[in-house]
């Protein structure tokens, strides 16, 4: 450490701290969540830590401090693969064919039945705006997570989808019913024939063992032209922060107190629990997709970022449509912490993705995803 200037000595502890934490975050993509769950959680902020690490790398290079440079260079090299899937820069395939088909994946957040938009977005027309978006895009296949239907009134979404929008082929599972006519679940709609359907029972939290969870995995075999594709619609375990946790995380003036310490422990516990639950759910889903005799489309509210172990397990089998044809940083979450890509359309390697778009409309706390594929590329 000879030859360090005063300013260098001042930055040194911050440099070492970034090196350690960024190194942990880099390992999140390679370590199964469980015993080392803290490392897995650090992957959430990987892009920011990776960039900080790069800044220190350039700084020590300019100072010609080779030992300190080598520390940050190791993290840069090991983390570059993970950083490279945080963004994409592609052009869409503009030529269209009769064999093209389109897919929409959307966590609808119950079509704003509880008027969350009054708090977040200042509008009360979410349900109709969502239906107008579908009418305009006219996707051939739609996967809804957090789907809601009411037997009476303006939230008769199932009737609207079939009678007004013309989606006659459907697979809807709604395991939660309240007040006899309010139903929650997930749905797959198609303009092509659905020839087979199924549901994979996901591991559930102990307090939900009786079936009240809406974290589901549905699949439908859809006949497209002369080929068949298996479409999975999956909603993996959410963290489910409560109002107090959100309030605490959004508070910029946290003070050391027993109440805040208790709140931070609650946040860490919820994140750890969701991480472990998603790991078990993913293992079961991937075991099923691996056995599919058809090409696979995997639409999901993944609740995990591209820095996670879960993401890299999926991409061992399937391609990420955003990486194939997306553009930008691909943020899909528009809630209180709008900096994450946690929604995906994955697809079998033999399928060619021609177009991928994130629909930047405030219809939910998740942006809808739209992709175009070509049936003749299946085999």
Of 83, 112, 147, the domain-final residue: 83
Same domain, 57 and 108: no
Same domain, 208 and 311: yes
Strand duo 194-200 + 327-328: pairing: unpaired
Strand duo 169-178 + 182-190: pairing: antiparallel
Q: Is the separation of the CB atoms in 117 and 126 below 8 Å?
A: yes
Whether residue 1 lies inside any domain: the answer is no
At residue 270, the pLDDT reads 82
Query: How many degrees, rounded to 5, is the angle at CA 349 between CA 278 and CA 372?
Result: 90
Same domain, 115 and 52: no
Give the tens place of pLDDT for each residue, 126-167. 999 999 999 999 999 999 999 999 998 889 999 999 999 999
The mean pLDDT of the chain is 88
For the record, the structure tokens of 47 come out as 């892009």
- Dist CA 15 CA 51 (whole Å): 12
| Half-sphere CA count of 333, side-chain side, radius 13 A | 16
- Dist CA 266 CA 146 (whole Å): 25
Give the tens place of pLDDT for each residue, 293-326. 999 999 999 999 999 999 999 999 999 999 999 9
Counting the structural domains of the chain, the total is: 2
pLDDT tops 70 at residue 78: yes
Give the tens place of pLDDT for each residue, 86-123. 999 998 888 888 889 999 999 999 998 877 655 444 45
Q: Which one has a higher pLDDT value, 179 or 208?
A: 179
> How large is the C-alpha radius of gyration of the chain?
22
Give the tens place of pLDDT for each residue, 244-279. 655 555 565 555 566 666 667 777 778 888 899 999
- Dist CA 345 CA 60 (whole Å): 40
Give the tens place of pLDDT for each residue, 369-379. 999 998 766 65
Same domain, 73 and 138: no
Whether residue 97 lies inside any domain: the answer is yes
Same domain, 162 and 56: no
pLDDT tops 90 at residue 209: no
pTM of the complete model: 0.91
Distances (CA, A) of 346 to 12, 135, 147: 42, 24, 20
| E strands, 296-367, in order | 296-301, 318-320, 327-328, 343-348, 353-358
Q: Residue 43: pLDDT band by 50, 70, 90 thresholds?
A: very high
Helix/strand/coil percent split, the chain, to 5 = 40, 25, 35
Of 32, 61, 83, the domain-final residue: 83
| Helical spans, DSSP H, in the chain | 6-27, 37-42, 46-63, 66-83, 117-120, 126-137, 157-159, 243-249, 258-289, 309-314, 321-325
Residue ranges making up the domain that contains 364: 88-377
């Amino acid at each position: 450490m000879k030859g360090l200037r005063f300013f260098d000595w001042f930055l040194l502890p911050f440099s070492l701290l970034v090196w350690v934490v960024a190194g942990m975050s880099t390992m999140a993509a390679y370590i199964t969540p469980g015993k080392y769950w803290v490392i897995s959680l650090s992957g959430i902020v990987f892009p920011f830590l990776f960039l900080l690490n790069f800044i220190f790398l350039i700084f020590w290079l300019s100072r010609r401090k080779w030992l300190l440079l080598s520390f940050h260079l190791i993290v840069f090299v090991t983390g570059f693969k993970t950083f490279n899937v945080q963004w994409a820069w592609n052009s869409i395939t503009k030529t269209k064919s009769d064999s093209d088909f389109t897919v929409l994946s959307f966590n609808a957040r119950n079509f704003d039945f509880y008027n969350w938009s009054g708090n977040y977005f200042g509008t009360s027309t979410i349900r109709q705006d969502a239906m107008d978006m579908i009418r305009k895009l006219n996707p051939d296949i739609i996967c809804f997570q957090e789907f809601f239907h009411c037997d009476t009134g303006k939230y008769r979404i199932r009737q609207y989808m079939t009678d007004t929008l013309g989606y006659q082929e459907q697979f809807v599972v709604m395991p939660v019913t309240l007040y006899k006519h309010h139903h929650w679940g997930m749905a797959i709609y198609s303009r092509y024939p659905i020839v087979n359907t199924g549901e994979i029972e996901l591991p559930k939290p102990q307090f939900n063992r009786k079936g009240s969870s809406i974290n589901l995995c549905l699949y439908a075999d859809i006949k497209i032209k002369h080929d068949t594709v298996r479409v999975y619609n999956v909603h993996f375990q959410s963290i489910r922060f409560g109002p107090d946790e959100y309030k605490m995380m959004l508070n910029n003036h946290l003070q050391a107190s027993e109440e805040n310490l208790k709140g931070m422990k609650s946040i860490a516990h919820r994140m750890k629990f969701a991480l472990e639950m998603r790991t078990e759910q993913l293992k079961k889903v991937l075991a099923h997709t691996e056995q599919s005799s058809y090409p696979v489309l995997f639409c999901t509210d993944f609740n995990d970022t591209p820095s996670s172990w879960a993401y890299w397990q999926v991409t061992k089998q399937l391609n990420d449509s955003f990486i194939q044809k997306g553009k930008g940083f691909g943020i899909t979450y528009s809630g209180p912490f709008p900096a994450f890509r946690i929604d995906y359309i994955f697809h079998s390697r033999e399928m060619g993705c021609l177009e991928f778009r994130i629909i930047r409309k405030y219809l939910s706390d998740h942006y809808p995803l739209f992709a175009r594929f070509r049936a003749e590329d299946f085999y």
